[in-house]
Structure 1
Amino acid sequence: MKKTNELLTKDIKKLIFDIAIPSSMGMFFNTMYNVVDTFYIGQISTEAISALTYSFMIFFMLLSVSFGLSSAITAYVGGALGKHKRTMAGIYASNGISLFIIISFVLSVISFLLLEYIFVTMGASGKVLEYALEYTYIILLGIIPMLIGLGANAVLIALGDTKSYRNILIIGFLLNIILDPLFIYGFYFIPALGISGVALATVLIQYITLMYMLYKLYKTNLFDISLFFKSLPNIKAFKQLVKQAIPTSINMFLGSLGSMITMYFVSTYGFKAVAAFGIGYRVEQIILLPMLGLNTAVISIVSNNFGAKNFDRIDEVIDKALKYGYIMSAVGVVLIALFGKYMIMVFDTDTQVVDTAYIYIIFESFIFFSFITLFISTSTLQGIKNPFMIPYVSFYRQIFMPLIFFFLVVYVFELSIIYLWISMLIIITSAAIFIKIYTKKQLEIARTKTYIKKQG
């Protein structure tokens, strides 16, 4: 007897909450993990927080490839499951993991070779550069387990399982609370490692996470480790996954490159501005967390229903996800206005840092509505295997327009840093409007093609 695919039949509202809530909880603990790192590093100095901000930009750039491949794996595994082709889903799962192994190794080697050059180009110098290199060289040792673990999670998401990753992220968060101070300050035979200790704790936890995720993947019966090492790659599956992954990976890569561009212009206002930007970004992440879980729900439900050609359910999940996202955005604006400054002061009490970060998150809170529109539209395009406009929109909002606006703000008109945040608001809002219209059009085209095919 075949197991019913609930992603094709279950009430949409319940599905969104069943998938989004565990995913958001996982993201919450993942973000809180980073918050713990920021808190302890903040005890060292403001320069150390600035260094962490630079390092995060590199970390995000490496993750950009994983986001694209993760969404590709989820889309193809989910699509195969929607067509009740479980064997094919297993082929996509195995080949997706193979790709992650190859890519993570290549990225690690390249990063080790170019790290110092990238930091200097971004504007890091002196003690900030020293801290950034000390921390990031160790972090790079955890890239391989981290990316492979994300590949395993992509398969689980296609099955509607967001609880497994949530559970291991909670465990990782708790371990980090213990390991960070232990490695920073030392204890008995453990030496005091300072900022290196924070990085070492992260690498250790990444390997623990990998073991758990591979176990959960094995339990799905979509991935057999013994057969994985005996079988040759499926070239067709490789090509399909890469073709799907490239636009999204380019999108995320442009996002990380855009963050570096932003960092360069922010650094012209001094290292305290960099620290404020990094802290503000952490606070922004915390408020955005419930909304990010909606992305996971959308791509999971859309990919399965696109495989089954259930367009009415696809429309319903988009409408409901946007509705919930806008409600949460409104709540986020209020929370930041009331408590944002207090959240910032947890990490740094320097008046200049606090004031700069607070103004940043105020403007960012109004961008939440545009962010949720971008996120849902992007997840929909990934779910229907049509992500090819995504990198163009990303280039517009992450590279092209910021270079123009930021250059004018910093070098032509020599305005205060607040005008960088105003520029972000204008750019991201315009991008969100475009991609929402584009996504609606692509769904109409896909629906029409399906109708014509059935009639023919």
Structure 2
Amino acid sequence: MRVISEKHTRPDLLNDPISPTLKKMTIPMIFGLVSLMMFNIVDTFFISLLGTEPLAAVSFTFPVTFMVISLAIGLGIGTSAVIAKALGSHKVNEARFDASISLLVAVILVLILSFFGYVFIDPIFTLLGAGENVLPLIHQYMNVWFLGSVCLITPMIGNSVLRASGDTKTPSFVMGGAGLINAICDPILIFGFGPIPALGIEGAAISSVIAWSVAVVVILYILLKKRLLSLKAGKQTVIGSISKILKIGLPAAGANMLTPVAMAVMTALVAHHGPEAVAAFGVGSKIESIASLLVLALSMTLPPFISQNFGASKLSRVKDAYTGTLKFVMVWQFIIYILLIASAGVLSQLFGKEQAVIDVIKLFIYTIPLSYGLQGVIILSNSSFNALHKPMNALFLSIIRLFIFYLPFAYIGNELAGLLGLFIGAAVGNLFTALVAYKWFMKELETLSNQSLQECSH
């Protein structure tokens, strides 16, 4: 009975129909991502009630916390790709060992990173521009955050292990549960309740660590119950396992870290048009994160599907899943664009208080979202390269996108036609990168198919 129930909850990525399987995997991930967004929104809301300085202090922490989270995301991508390929090749014991090693590696790396962050808090945040009035508040938040960071990364890696096996429902529930715990603890610890004193900004950090800690216990229990962890090496070696995971994980982490760098450059370009333009661009970025929610969910569910079928040498299923998903994303994001155009007036009035801000928000909505489908092609090609164990391709694609097309075209557009040119340039940059990404991935698939045929002929 246990085997039957497990089969029903986890799709067979090697044999089930492609579209229904990806749909079944993606819908829970959307729920999980929404929960994660709410996690951040709730934190920001309650901290904002403390005043401007606590909110500014937390804003200063974003680049530093993003470094640790980027490392976790990269290691999660490496973990998922390695384990899914092993499962596709029916090497279950190898997958279990790799899962265990990936958790240990992630914990060690984050401990090292957090130790240095903890020791050098003052120099790091002074370099970022934090004043003496904000540094004590940053200490209150980051001292706790660094100490609890291991509890953040463990569920992220554990969820990657589950996704690699085809289970996307459990990770979504874990993320949702953590978000709910954080939402309950935040007001109690920040403002105090009964015998619990008001801890202010430190309470927000403690609340997050409590939520993460519960998630650690839950995810480890699930992984052990599903027998997805084992330290029995077999023919594997610890060094070999670490090498496989870091080979994909470190370039993936690097690619993630490039995004905030590029966004900082874009913000600097926009800043030449005044603070109203910067405020509107910030609103546009939030709209983008919501409008691209399905693409982000697919970027977590398509790779395990590709990796398992890659491991099983079912490259025709890899091609069909990749091309089918891209077609769907292009149509879906165009519908989103039409909806954004229709609601441009309402959205701009909702987020903009001054006419200058309202005008720029509308300008943003009319231009950049038209390329969200193309951006989806880039994101999914990037994650698919990692799934094929081609991490350097994924890293170079990120570099090509941001520093050869997206930013240069935005800069040229800005020089030629101001803010409108900047937005159009960014959209055109997405077009050229999407063409490169698609052609490059299809060429890699063709190469792998030819290699597979040659191996069969021998």
**TM-score if structure 2 supplies the norm length?**
0.84
- 2:113 aligns with 107
Higher mean C-alpha deviation, range 334-343 or range 277-286: 334-343
Does residue 441 (structure 1) correspond to residue 447 (structure 2)? The answer is no
Which whole-Å CA distance do the structure 2 matches of 1:130 and 1:167 have between them?
36
Q: Decide which of 245, 249, 272 is 1:245's aligned counterpart.
A: 249
**2:437 corresponds to 1:431:** no
| Partner of residue 96 from structure 1, selected from 82, 93, 102 | 102
Higher relative CO (CA 8 A, sep ≥ 6), structure 1 or 2?
Answer: 1
CA distance in 2, matches of 1:436, 1:137: 44
- Provide the secondary structure at the position in 1 that maps to 2:392: coil
1:8 and 1:31 map into 2 onto residues whose CA distance is: 32
Name the counterpart of 1:451: 453
**Is the Cα contact below 8 Å between 1:80 and 1:307 reproduced in 2?**
yes
Q: 1:328 to 1:425 in 2, by over 3 A?
A: same
Summarize deviations over 1:88-107 as a string: whole Å, max 9, x none: 11121111111111111122
* Contact 1:81/1:89 (<8 A) preserved: yes
Relative distance call for 1:133 and 1:307 in structure 2 (3 A) is same
Q: CA separation in 1, counterparts of 2:320 and 2:346? A: 38
Q: Which residue of 1 aligns with 2:21?
A: 15
Give the alignment of 1:34-45 within 5 angstroms: 34-43=40-49
* Structure 1 contact 53–274 (Cα < 8 Å) conserved: no
2:382·2:397 contact (CA, 8 Å) conserved in 1?
A: no
CA distance in 2, matches of 1:266, 1:293: 29
Conserved 8 A contact 1:153-1:213: yes
Q: How many percent of aligned residue pairs carry the same amino acid?
A: 26
Check the 8 A contact 1:345/1:354 in 2, yes or no: yes
Higher deviation after alignment, 282-291 or 201-210: 282-291
Q: Does 1:176 align with 2:156?
A: no
Q: Secondary structure at the match of 2:14?
A: helix
Contact 1:31–1:286 (8 Å) recurs in 2: no
Distance 1:183 1:216, change over 3 A: same
Q: Is the 8 A contact 1:136 1:199 kept in 2?
A: yes
Aligned pair in 2 of structure 1 residues 32, 64: CA closer, same or farther (>3 Å)?
Answer: same
Q: CA deviation at 1:449?
A: 0.4
1:52-201 maps to which residues of 2 (within 5 A)?
52-113=58-119, 117=123, 119=125, 135-201=141-207
Deviations 1:407-455, CA, capped at 9 Å, x for gaps: 7789xx6996666544433333322221111111100000000001101
Q: Which amino acid aligns with 1:31?
A: M
- 1:226-246 deviation digits (Å, cap 9, x = unpaired): x589xx961111112211223
User: In 1, are the aligned partners of 2:411 and 2:422 still within 8 Å (CA)?
Assistant: no
What is the alpha-carbon distance in structure 1 between the residues aligned to residue 54 and residue 177 of structure 2?
26
| Native 8 Å contact 1:19 1:293 kept in 2 | no
- SS in structure 1 opposite 2:229? coil
Q: Residues 178 and 218 (structure 1 numbering): CA distance in 2 closer, same or farther, change over 3 Å?
A: same
Q: 2:379 aligns with which of 362, 375, 380?
A: 375
Find the aligned partners of 1:339 and 1:44 in 2 and give their Cα distance: 33
Alpha-carbon separation, structure 1, partners of 2:132 and 2:346: 30
SS at match of 1:6: coil
Asked if the contact 2:72/2:156 (under 8 Å) is kept, the reply is: yes
Whole-angstrom distance in 2 between the partners of 1:432 and 1:49:
37
More displaced stretch, 384-393 vs 331-340? 331-340
Deviation of 1:61 after TM superposition, in Å, equals: 2.5
Structure 1 counterpart SS, 2:389: coil
Q: Distance in 2 between matches of 1:11 and 1:431?
A: 30
Q: CA deviation at 1:306?
A: 0.4
Q: After superposition, where does 1:264-343 map in structure 2 within 5 Å? A: 277-339=281-343
User: Which residue of structure 1 lines up, in the alignment, with residue 240 of structure 2?
Assistant: 236
For residues 403 and 136 of structure 2, the distance between their equivalents in structure 1, rounded to whole angstroms, comes to 28
Q: Which residue of 2 aligns with 1:254?
A: 258
Contact 1:363 1:422 in 2 (8 A): yes
The answer on whether the counterparts of 2:178 and 2:211 sit within 8 Å (CA) in structure 1 is: yes
User: Residue type matched to 1:452 in 2?
Assistant: Q
For 1:82, give the aligned amino acid. Answer: G
Q: 1:105 to 1:339 in 2, by over 3 A?
A: farther
Once the two structures are overlaid, the 10-residue window that deviates more, 172-181 or 128-137, is 128-137
Partner Cα separation in structure 2 for residue 448 and residue 228 of structure 1: 35
Structure 1 residues 75 and 199: alpha-carbon distance in aligned structure 2, compared to 1, 3 A threshold:
same
**Quick one: distance in 1 between partners of 2:27 and 2:265?**
33
CA shift, 1:279, in A, is 4.7
177-186 or 148-157, which deviates more: 177-186
Structure 1 residue 125: Cα displacement: 5.6
What residue ranges of structure 2 are gaps of 5+ in the alignment?
A: none
For the 8 Å contact 1:122–1:261, the answer to whether it is kept is: no
Q: Say which SS state the counterpart of residue 13 (structure 2) adopts.
A: helix
Residue-pair matches, total: 450
**Structure 1 unaligned residues grouped into runs of 5+:** none
Structure 1 residues 328 and 130: CA distance shift in structure 2, 3 A = farther
Shift of 1:267: 6.4
Q: Which amino acid aligns with 1:183?
A: L
Instruction: Evaluate the alpha carbon distance shift between residue 342 and residue 113 of structure 1 in structure 2; reply closer, same or farther with a 3 A threshold.
Output: farther
Give the Cα separation in 1 of the matches to 2:95 and 2:442: 28
Matched, 1:394 2:395: no
Change (3 A) 1:162 1:258: same
CA 1:320 to 1:408, structure 2 compared with 1: closer, same or farther past 3 Å? closer
Choose 284-293 or 355-364, whichever is displaced more.
Answer: 355-364
Deviations 1:396-417 (A, max 9, x none): 333566775677789xx69966
Instruction: From the superposition, tell whether residues 176 and 353 of structure 1 become closer, same or farther in structure 2 (CA, over 3 Å).
Output: farther
Give the C-alpha shift of residue 288 in structure 1.
1.7
- Out of 217, 220, 224, the position equivalent to 2:226 is 220
Please tell me whether the aligned partners of residues 182 and 210 of structure 2 are also in contact (alpha carbons under 8 angstroms): no
The one-letter code matched in structure 1 to 2:152 is: M
CA shift in 2, pair 1:316/1:277, >3 Å: same
Find the residue that maps to 1:385 and give its secondary structure. coil
